[in-house]
Amino acid sequence: MNEVKSKKVMLYDADSYNIHLHVETEPIGDTFEGFFRDYNNQSLGRYEGQIGRVRISPFPFKDTTLPSGREINKDQEILKHMITLAETLDMRDGLDSIEAQTIEEFMVECGKLMENSKFINMCIGGREWENKEGYINNDLFLPRISKDGVSMEAVDAENSRLLKFDRAVHVKALVKKDAPSNGMEKPFKADSGSGSDFEL
């Protein structure tokens, strides 16, 4: 885990937040040439594994009321996800020691705590989308926890409950539509703004 960052989903709803996990695989080997850690400061070297940006949840966090009448509190939902991540990273004590007045301040401290932390296992899902050049990109996220298993787990976990990746279940394939004829429809745009979240 290289970084944990939160940001508002300004394109759709200024009151919604995404939490992005900037992740890296274990080192691949001498034949692999990763991206520069900082293109403007190449003396920092290259990543030793594949890197990606993965949302911790399929959907943004927002205060809302579900059709069932259940009320969702954004801050509480973010806290639940960060507790799960901290426990997976064996950092729960560090998380519990954070003092913050707002969820934004809390996430800044979480980022400091979890920066360059240990490797964990993940099942990563995604949603395909097409950019202006016609290339298919991937908006990556962790699937929801369910009776079938969990989306993240410690490498040395006993009795693993990690979800087994199934493309048919965990990836929402792009369905291409005919070009709008009346000029009223707009193409889908991912909140990342550019490029795939998975860099190979």
The Cα–Cα gap between 108 and 112 comes to: 7
State the Cα–Cα distance between residues 188 and 129, nearest whole angstrom.
7
CA dihedral 175, 179, 183, 189 (to 10 degrees): 40
- What would the two tokens of residue 183 be? 């000029």
Cα–chain center distance at 54: 2
Sequence spans of domains, the chain:
3-199
Q: Which tens digits make up the pLDDT trace of 132-173?
A: 888 888 899 999 998 999 999 999 999 999 999 999 999 999
What is the sign of the dihedral through the CA atoms of 185, 191, 195 and 200? negative
Closest of 22, 21, 15, 23 to residue 103, by C-alpha: 15
pLDDT digits 0-9 by tens, 78-126: 999 999 999 999 999 999 999 999 999 999 999 999 998 899 999 999 9
Q: Name the pTM for this structure.
A: 0.79
